[in-house]
Structures are given as C-alpha cells and as structure tokens.
Amino acid sequence: MTDLSNNKMYAVKVIPQSRVSKPHQRDKITNEIELHKTLSHKHVVKFSHHFEDQENIYIFLELCSRKSLAHIWKARHTLTEPEVRYYLRQIISGLKYLHSRGILHRDLKLGNFFVNENMELRLGDFGLAAKLETVEQRKKTICGTPNYLAPEVLNRQGHGTESDVWSLGCVMYTLMCGNPPFETLDLKETYKCIKEVRYNLPSTLSPAAQKLISGILQKNPSDRLTLDQILNHEFFTKGFTPDKLPPSSCVMVPELHPPSPAKKFFTKMAKSLFGKKKAKGKHQQHSLFSESHRVSFMSSSHVSCLAPDNRLVCTERMLMLSLTNFLSFFPATRNPPCLSRPQSFLWVTKWVDYSNKYGFGYQLSNQNIGVLFNEGTHLSLCEQRKTVHYCLTNNKHFTFPASSLPEQLRSQKQIVELMANYMEQNLMEGGDLHCEEQVSGPPPLLLQWVKTDHALVMLFNNGTLQVNFYTDHTKIILCKSSDDSYLLTYISRERVSYTYLLSMLTELGCTSELRHRLRYVVQLLQHHADA
C-alpha cells in the first residue's frame, strides 16, 4: 500500500476480522503486534503502525521489494557458498538480537526471510514468536513449519534458542542442497527422520559446509553449535563473503569478485619497495579469482586443503627478493654466463584470451593445458590429457581420471579441450626452452593474469612470474629452483632462451636490453599494486 500523504510504500499484512473472532485468536494477533513494535534492528523487518476496521486488521511493515528467500530459492534451487554465507550472516545478526531480548522466533524458514531493494535481508513474521522461558515454563505446543522443526519440539520438550538454531541449520541445508534435509512425501516419516536426525549430506557440499551442518543438526540441544560458534566456524572464517549481492542473483548465479590474493600480495610488495609513490600508465586488469562457482560436489576424501594465504607464500618470498635485486642492477656490456643446463621448470608456451566468453587458457612446457575460468575455478588437463586437476576458488584441489570425470565438470573439460585444440593448430611455441623431465607435484595454477598495452603478465601459485612482451615476443620468466636459488630466464625475439642465476645478474649486471625489460616488470607490478 502507498501512503498518499508522502507516497511512501509499505507491505501490509491484512487479517480478516473473521479469523480473530475468538479470544485466543485475537490475543495471538495482539501479541504479535505488541512484540513486533518493540523491535528495532537492521536485519528485522521494521514495524510502522497498525489499525483496523470492521473487516480487517492492517499491519504496516517495511516493504521488501525482492520478496523473500523462498522466492529466490524457487528461482535458483541452490545458492553458492558465498551467497549462503552472505544471507546467513544477516540472519544470525537478527537472530542474536532477538535472543538477546529474550525472544524466540519459532518459525524460521525461507519464506520468513525478506529481501529489500538493496539485497539486504530482514527477519519477519512474528506470528509464532514468544518470550524465552525456563525449561520448566516452556510451552509444549508443536508449532512451526514441519520441515524445520527441532526434535525437542516434536518431542514436546518446548522451544529454546537451540530450536531456532536447528531451524537455521535446516535453512542452510535447503539453500545449498535444493531441498530441506528431512523432507519426505509423508509427514509422519518426516517427523520420524527429524526425531532420529536421519538425513543425507551430499558430496556436493564442501567439507566445511558438511561439518557446520552436522554441528548444527545435533539431536541434543546442548550439543548444537551456538550462533557465535557458527560465525567462528571455518565455513565462515575461511570462505569469501561478499559485501553485497547483485539483484540479478535473485534469478541467476551472480558473478562475484573476492579480493584477489595476487592483488593483496602486489599491494604489500609495492608498499615495501616503493612506499606510497604512484606510477603513471594505463593497463587493463583481468582479476578472475572469483568464488561464485556453480559446483562444489567432491567428497572430503578427495580434498587437499590449502590455507588462503599459503598459495602466495612462495610467490611473495621469491618476488620480494627478486624485485628488490632488480632495483640495484647496473648496465654491463654483456650479460653474465648463462646456465648451460638449467633445471627444468614449467612455463607458458602458448596462451589464448577467451575471457569474453569462458576464461584464459594456456599451455605449459610439459604440454599440460590449463584454463582459469571467468567464474574463478581452474581446470587442467595433464599427463597427455588422461588426468584432470580441478581447483575451486576456495583453494580445494581435486584430481580425477579423465575417463571418469563427474558429470558437472564435463562441460568445462570440453571448453579446455576446445582451447587446447585451437592452440595446437594455430599457435607457435613461445621459445626453445622445453621441459625435458616430468616436473613432480600438482600442476601450477594460474592465480591472476594482467594485460597492459605492452605485455601479458601471468602469476602462478608455485612462485613463477612470466611476462610476455607483445611487439618483439620476448619473455621474462622468474622462478625458484629446487636448491632455493632464484632463476631468471630471458627468451629473445629469435625465441632463444637464456637462463641466469639471479645472484649472478645482481653481481655482474646485465645489458640494457634485459635491464630495460626488468625495469618494466618492476614498474608494471608497482602500478598494478597502486591502481
């Protein structure tokens, strides 16, 4: 409804007088109004005013134009982990406020979480809400929505704050799995499953999500995680939570942009090397390290977790030292002796920018093919395309035989093969530096790529930084060898490679041709960090 005096719009709850003809019915509505009008919190639907006439009671509430999580869930069926964290944080904030005031909601479900124009969540519908009572005083009435009822409620032990937490766990499960955890075709069977806490945790959930849901859906209320424990769980602390969601996420998977670990590193490095000084220039950045992935379906037995910062520890250590040394180079008439048999390392021999549709693809010197997808996931074809390595944006890494790839990954594998075939048929090798032996360990993952007017920069999680210059096709590759020394490889315009110990370059200097390119790399990274 619209208030014609100021054109302000409200959501209005209309209750026919015929539904409150009996005293206990009238008391229920009165209690709802009296309780709701006392609430004031960012994540609780705002109560404005109410009045009644002979036909209806009218309760004027804050308008939430995006409707509810039930509408979003119906359109999307499942949400990504970052979205679930985004909504759960707001639900928990509102719920902590209610519990601190001694109020139980008692009907937490998707339809009672409203979303406003700015994609902010509000808890609403306090028709079943009640003041918190001691265990002895708790009402033994079964109330709430069947799929979200806690075991103690069904067993007529009454509601406590733990019952709201149980419902929250059911909400989380529903958003991530597409259906409530205890849903069956028969209500009695549903109640039996709830009392026995009998449900399935799909392998599509990440291990952290599985652990959190298991910690919430505990039969004994005292064994359940508290709201604070939920917020401090690794599902929240180690996962990206967006500050805001786009309205398009109501109907489709959003494109989210978590802080890039490479950007974070460059900033720290630039502060150390250059202080606050800004570099001038123009460049285009493609930061594709996004966590809005569609799939998260591997079981915990396949998972090898990496702490978020660990991916760049090697990179940071190597580049901080290397780039500091760049600044102290001096001109020489010739470069120092290059290594006659340099240690084998992986570098990018071919690349293709298909980010307008899919992502960035590249071929390594051992013929492995990798693609960093626009959504932030990474897929590599290794061992002559017999093995698939897949990495989610939360750093979880999985390996599959190409012949038994999960169905959810097959479309991405086809895209990688498409790019691989294009590079094989249309592009030349980038130089004469080949991988003579199999490099052990998982394939390096591209963390970030940056295009400037003059060069392409690729940063990998194993500490390799590669810069390809467009005009003359020269390349600079920085990497760390197995004996902790630092190597710099220069591939000339004739595609001939020269590998130097960085310590030798620092000691003896280098020609202006190489020094000019190294200076550009330093300035590029400085600008990238300051931009």
pLDDT at 254 over 70: yes
pLDDT at 296 over 50: no
| Predicted pLDDT at 463 | 81
| Predicted pLDDT at 491 | 92
CB 225 within 8 A of CB 168: no
CA distance 456 to 466: 8
CA distance 259 to 312: 14
116-125, 152-161, 320-329, 441-450: range with lowest mean pLDDT: 320-329
| Predicted pLDDT at 142 | 61
- Higher-pLDDT residue of 257 and 238 is 238
CA distance 276 to 332: 31
| Predicted pLDDT at 526 | 61
Q: Cα 41 to chain center, whole Å?
A: 27
The CATH superfamily label for domain 69-248 reads: Transferase(Phosphotransferase) domain 1 (1.10.510.10)
- Region 265-270: mean pLDDT is 50
- Higher-pLDDT residue of 252 and 143 is 252
| Predicted pLDDT at 50 | 95
| Predicted pLDDT at 139 | 54
Q: Supply the mean pLDDT for the chain.
A: 82
DSSP one-letter string for 63-99 = --TT-BHHHHHHHHSS--HHHHHHHHHHHHHHHHHHH
185-199, 367-381, 449-463: range with lowest mean pLDDT: 449-463
pTM, full prediction: 0.53
| Predicted pLDDT at 267 | 53
- Region 324-329: mean pLDDT is 58
- Higher-pLDDT residue of 138 and 118 is 118
Q: Provide the 3-class DSSP secondary structure of residue 327.
A: helix
CA distance 260 to 27: 54
pLDDT at 144 over 80: no
CB 478 within 8 A of CB 437: no
Confidence of residue 133 (pLDDT cuts 50, 70, 90): low
CA distance 525 to 448: 12
Confidence of residue 408 (pLDDT cuts 50, 70, 90): confident
Task: Measure the N-to-C terminal CA separation of the chain; round to a whole number of Å.
Answer: 47
CB 123 within 8 A of CB 182: no
Q: Residues 3, 27, 53, 107: which is the catalytic one?
A: 107
CA distance 159 to 140: 8
Q: Taking the domain 2-61, which CATH number applies?
A: 3.30.200.20
| Predicted pLDDT at 305 | 27
pLDDT at 328 over 90: no
Which residues share a beta bridge with 351? 362
Helix (H) or strand (E) holding 282: none
Phi-psi region of 364 (alpha: psi -120 to 50; beta: other; left: phi over 0): beta
- Top mean pLDDT of 17-26, 113-122, 469-478 is at 113-122
Task: Report percent pLDDT > 90 for the chain.
Answer: 48
Residue-wise pLDDT for 342-395, tens only, equals 777 889 999 999 888 888 999 999 899 999 988 788 999 998 899 999 988 667
CA distance 518 to 531: 20
CA distance 256 to 185: 36
Active site residue 107: yes
Q: Provide the 3-class DSSP secondary structure of residue 370.
A: strand
CA distance 394 to 261: 11
For the segment(s) 264-530, the CATH number from 3.10.129.10, 3.40.50.1820, 3.40.50.300, 3.30.1120.30 is 3.30.1120.30
CA distance 217 to 437: 51
pLDDT at 290 over 50: no
| Predicted pLDDT at 333 | 84
- Higher-pLDDT residue of 528 and 85 is 85
Dihedral, 417, 421, 423, 424 alpha carbons, nearest 10: 130
Q: Cα 226 to chain center, whole Å?
A: 24
- Higher-pLDDT residue of 145 and 239 is 239
Distances (CA, A) of 250 to 69, 83, 86, 488: 9, 11, 13, 49
- Region 136-162: mean pLDDT is 77
Confidence of residue 520 (pLDDT cuts 50, 70, 90): confident
pLDDT at 292 over 80: no
Confidence of residue 272 (pLDDT cuts 50, 70, 90): very low
User: Where exactly are the structural domains of the chain?
Assistant: 2-61, 69-248, 264-530
Residue-wise pLDDT for 80-111, tens only, equals 999 999 999 999 999 999 999 999 999 999 99
Q: Phi and psi dihedrals of 394, rounded to 5?
A: -95, 20
